[in-house]
Amino acid sequence: MQPPSPTSQKVTSDTPSITHTFNAFTDAGGIIDGYSSTIIAAQGSPSASGSGLGAYTVSVSGGNSFSLLLNALSGSDIVATAVHSVLVDPPGDYSAAFRSFGFNPTTNLQSTYIAFTGSLS
């Protein structure tokens, strides 16, 4: 099980929304039977609309950076997660929250993914 490579983009604060489509997960065992999306944001409550691999549309109002996560599901279990991060320029006061995830939004965008291997119980 392998999620697509993480992606990121930088937009200006006057960008009203972004649209993103995820690449396919590598699923040699054929266990993925659905997807769910989540947004992690340091400020505000952005929401995403979309399904499957996308396209997902997320409002960028308020100038807040965020990460859009796409969870691959097997039943109700998350088996892998793909990440698309969006840095809204100029940066707001969200550096501490992003640093808690292990990266510094004022110097670079780093995305990561999580893959679970082995059997699910």
Helix (H) / strand (E) containing 95: helix 95-100
How many Cβ atoms sit within 10 Å of the Cβ of residue 8?
14
Mean pLDDT of all residues in 41-70: 83
Average pLDDT, the chain: 79
| Contact by Cβ (8 Å): 69, 82 | yes
Q: Which residue's structure tokens are 């004022």?
A: 106
More confident: 47 or 99:
47
Task: State which CATH number among 3.30.420, 3.30.70, 1.20.120, 2.60.40 fits the domain covering 7-115.
Answer: 2.60.40
More confident: 11 or 82:
82
CA distance to 1, 77, 97, 110, per residue, from 119 (Å): 11, 11, 32, 29
| pLDDT for 76 | 94
| pLDDT for 110 | 47
| pLDDT for 36 | 95
pTM of the model: 0.71
- Domain map of the chain by residue range? 7-115
Look at residue 22 and give its three-state secondary structure.
coil
